[in-house]
Amino acid sequence: MGQKIELACIIDDDKIYVNLVRKIIEIKHLSENLLIFKNGLEALDYFKVILTNMTADKLPDIIFLDLNMPVMDGWEFLGEFIKIKNNFDKKIILYVVSSSIDPRDLERAKSFNLVTDYLIKPIELKKFEQIFDRDVA
């Protein structure tokens, strides 16, 4: 059993999904705190602010990134995040989470080094527990 995850981050525009995940995290006590952004741009803005004022405790241990979102989608976020992530001293685990079963999306997601895995919605409760348990920094 690893260390408990302090801060998890969800980037997803599906409110119902986000609420359900929030509930799972609460019930299973998977993370102390939760950051929620409804598109890539909001999340990116958050990380850019931290860059200017470095405080590691505000950086999430784990990110769950949706692909299909308005304003800035998951791909665009990945493209931007890759440019700034090396400025953080903390290792951030990133999962792409999508209901797309298009193999092209899968391939593309795996081509990013910073993507740990591609998870297809719905994620089993047990899988959530495993992820939070195993992937502690």
> Interface residues with other proteins (CB under 8 A)?
14, 16-17, 19-21, 23-24, 27, 41, 68, 70-71, 98-102, 121-125
Q: How many degrees, rounded to 5, is the angle at CA 43 between CA 5 and CA 104?
A: 90
Is-cis flag, bond preceding 103, omega within 30?
Answer: no
Measure CA of the first residue to CA of the last residue in the chain; give whole Å: 12
CB of 17 to other proteins, least distance (A): 5
CB of 71 to other proteins, least distance (A): 6
CB of 72 to other proteins, least distance (A): 10
CB of 37 to other proteins, least distance (A): 13
How many angstroms separate the Cα of 45 from the Cα of each of 37, 41, 52, 62, 102?
10, 6, 11, 17, 29
Let me know: does 69 contact 11? Beta carbons within 8 Å: yes
- Phi and psi dihedrals of 82, rounded to 5? -60, -30
